[in-house]
Amino acid sequence: MTDRRILTRRAFLIGGATTVVGAGAAAWWAADRFLIPHVEVTSVSQAEEESGTAASSGTTATVDGDAMAADSSGADVSIETVTTGSGSDTVTHYVAHVTLDDPTALRSAFAQDQFGENITQLVSEMAEAHGAVFAVNGDYYGFRDTGIEVRNGVAYRDAGAREGLALYRDGHAEIYDETATTAQALVDAGVWTTLSFGPALVRDGAAIDGVDEVEVDTNFGNHSIQGEQPRTAIGVVDATHLVFVVVDGRDEGYSRGATLPELAEIMVGLGAQTAYNLDGGGSSEMWFDGEVVNRPSNGGERATSDILYIGGAS
């Protein structure tokens, strides 16, 4: 009996130690994968200067028809609030119509002016740091280590994994298979910016079937993008006309959120010929003229890895 108890106790202790070690390793892996910053490019601004794509533009902007700011920027932004339904079926979303003289006036910025994993910053902070007048959250590229990331004409990541969106310097957009090309090939073909999240919502002016079955990521820690959720989407009406939509959600009586098919129909209704779903949930945010326009579901801004923005006065 004594020996058996001792052996049982020793087995328990050894097993417990193994469990602790295993749990510690898992915790370290999770922290390293999702929390600890991994900087790959220490100065994005420098990278853009060296490639000749540094920003220099401003914006004319209005909200619901009221002029907010103006200069000789070559871009115009107007924002409207749309509410449909009632009670628990209420959906509130914000639409930004952006008209550009030059398609490359739509720019991207990375958190902390660095590129890598788990580097985050508030949308408002990134926007203000780059003199933006308008911004939305991007694809939260830093949450994953896959996807093709070309921003402002510079290739940062070449790890094709999903269906991406390519925005070209001439203003046209293409939904493409990341696994069938490379980041450099896209840059050489005239791509200005790519986004890697999805799914694609609209192609050739029509809603794409099957978006209610797509999952972007399946690794540990991810949540389904399906159901009624806060959403962010970008749409291309023509070479100089973009539309951005942010749908609020998880707030009964104010906005339940939208399904992906509903989001696709919103984009079609706005005239988008191509539209693409960006990161959503608590990340969904529209920022304009120094203020957060929507009501993020977290109760405030969530730090994310990147934004799309229109510059203010240069």
Examine the domain organization and report whether 225 and 95 are in the same domain: yes
Examine the domain organization and report whether 241 and 105 are in the same domain: yes
Examine the domain organization and report whether 82 and 188 are in the same domain: yes
In the chain, which stretches have pLDDT less than 50?
Answer: 1-20, 57-63, 65-72, 314
Examine the domain organization and report whether 135 and 208 are in the same domain: yes
Examine the domain organization and report whether 83 and 125 are in the same domain: yes
Could you tell me the pTM of the whole model?
A: 0.84
3-state secondary structure labels for all residues of the chain: CHHHHHHHHHHHHHHHHHHHHHHHHHHHHHHHHHCCCEEEECCHHHHHHHHCCCCCCCCEEEECCEEEECCCCCEEEEEEEEEECCHHHCEEEEEEEEEECCHHHEEEEEHHHCEEECCCECHHHHHHHCCEEEEEECCCHHHCCCEEEEECCEEEEEECCCEEEEEECCCCEEEEEHHHCCHHHHHHCCEEEEECCCCEEEECCEECCCHHHCCCCCCCCCCCCCCCECEEEEEEEECCEEEEEEECCCECCCECCECHHHHHHHHHHCCCCEEEECCCHHHCCEEECCEECCCCCCCCCCCECEEEEEECCC
Examine the domain organization and report whether 23 and 58 are in the same domain: no
Examine the domain organization and report whether 144 and 180 are in the same domain: yes
Structural domains of the chain, count: 2
Examine the domain organization and report whether 180 and 31 are in the same domain: no
Per-residue confidence (pLDDT) for residue 22, from 0 to 100? 63
Examine the domain organization and report whether 138 and 12 are in the same domain: no
Examine the domain organization and report whether 92 and 239 are in the same domain: yes
Per-residue confidence (pLDDT) for residue 13, from 0 to 100? 33
Per-residue confidence (pLDDT) for residue 225, from 0 to 100? 81
Per-residue confidence (pLDDT) for residue 80, from 0 to 100? 97
Per-residue confidence (pLDDT) for residue 66, from 0 to 100? 40
State which residues form the domain around 181.
Answer: 43-311
Per-residue confidence (pLDDT) for residue 210, from 0 to 100? 92
For the stretch 59-72, pLDDT in tens is 444 445 443 333 33
155-169 core/surface letters (b: 16 or more CB in 10 A; e: else): bbbbebebbbbbbbb
